[in-house]
Structure 1
Amino acid sequence: MPLRTVSRSVAPFAAAAMLALLLAACTSSNSLISSRTQGYEISDSAQAQIRNGQSQDLVTLVLGSPQSTNTFGDQTAWYYVETKVRQTAFGMTMIDSRTVLAVYFDKNKKVSDKAVYTLQDGKTVAIETRRTPSFGEDRTFIDQILQSF
């Protein structure tokens, strides 16, 4: 008798597992993961068109406006970032590759150099979790009341 009781309580779970297995077999594995590009799509032909001595206007015409810029003294840099990601149906995102095209300009706004950086060129930065105490922020309400006496 105890064996029948156990098999009756397991039967609904076994049926649900079998149904889930059948439904998983019917769907394609690609439908659960989508690939996309974030940022710019930097083609090899566009990179080849950027040469030393070209103006900023021509670079804007070929690549578009930069995602980020910075200026160090007489030199200006424009950055174009392409990130290829895979995202699951459950919202988990995985980075496949990242390419950063840096175009450097001299003081005359002409291309002086260009560089391509990938994920292997990056460095992991450890985020410090400790906080610097500031005036009045680290005391609790009770500490403030006790300190006022």
Structure 2
Amino acid sequence: MISRVKSRAIKPIILCLAAGVALSACGNTRMVRGYVFDKQLADAIQPGVDNRQSVESTLGTPSVKASFNDNKWYYVSTTVRVRPVFWPDPKEHRVMAVAFNDAGVVTDVQNFDMAAMRDVNPVGDKTPTRGRDLNFFQQIFGNVGRFSGAAPVGSGENRGPNG
């Protein structure tokens, strides 16, 4: 009789715990990707006053440097909402572009947000390559029998120039 009473009292507790665990998996979390901005530090960068060294000591290393010259640094930060089973959804995006002159002094500081973001659809075409198309088994067993059983260089009587 006592065991039935205990089992009846435990069942609702177990059901509540299981429902809590199941519902917690559906929760939203926010995650910052990239540079973590400190508004005071970012606003402290002044054109004509700061140089590369002071920018790097204040903000740290940039997320990206310009591709063809070292005169523009980008600090990129994106806050996304992560939900189970769905793609991350960007909620906040900020890019700070710091431009330098040839002497390394800051000439311009630009800030971009979500309004400046653009969707880019990459081309799905494939670049043709030279060679053969190999199936799974050709890739796995393709080198069987291609090499002779000779010993590696330097392991026998015919040592190479270094050994």
Given the two structures, how large is their TM-score scaled by the length of structure 1?
Answer: 0.64
Indicate yes or no: 2:90 matched with 1:129.
no
Q: Residue deviations 1:62-104, cap 9 Å, x none?
A: 111111112656x711111111012124474221111111100
Counterpart of 2:55, as a letter, is V
Q: Give 3-state SS (helix, strand or coil) of 1:65's partner.
A: coil
Match of 1:64 among 60, 65, 70: 60
Q: Which protein has the larger Cα radius of gyration, Structure 1 or Structure 2?
A: 2
How far did 1:41 drift? Answer: 1.6
- Cα contact 2:95–2:112 (8 A) shared by 1: yes
- Trace 1:1-149 onto structure 2 (pairs within 5 A): 24=19, 32-53=27-48, 54-70=50-66, 72=68, 76-90=71-85, 92-137=87-132
Given the two structures, how large is their TM-score scaled by the length of structure 2?
Answer: 0.60
Q: Residue deviations 1:97-125, cap 9 Å, x none?
A: 11111100000000000111123212222
Q: Equivalents in 1 of 2:124, 2:21: separation in Å?
A: 47
Counterpart of 1:65, as a letter, is T
Counterpart of 1:99, as a letter, is R
Q: Equivalents in 1 of 2:132, 2:35: separation in Å?
A: 42
Unmatched runs of 5 consecutive residues or more in structure 2:
1-13, 136-163
How far did 1:138 drift? Answer: 6.8
Unmatched runs of 5 consecutive residues or more in structure 1:
1-18, 141-149
Query: What is the root-mean-square deviation of aligned Cα atoms in Å?
Result: 3.3
Q: Equivalents in 1 of 2:19, 2:104: separation in Å?
A: 57
From the superposition, tell whether residues 41 and 20 of structure 1 become closer, same or farther in structure 2 (CA, over 3 Å): same
For these two proteins, the number of residue pairs brought into alignment is: 121
In proportion to residue count, which structure has more strand?
A: 1
Moved over 6 A (4+): 19-22, 25-31
Identity %, equivalent residues:
25
Q: Equivalents in 2 of 1:127, 1:42: separation in Å?
A: 29
Q: Give 3-state SS (helix, strand or coil) of 2:58's partner.
A: helix
In proportion to residue count, which structure has more helix?
A: 1
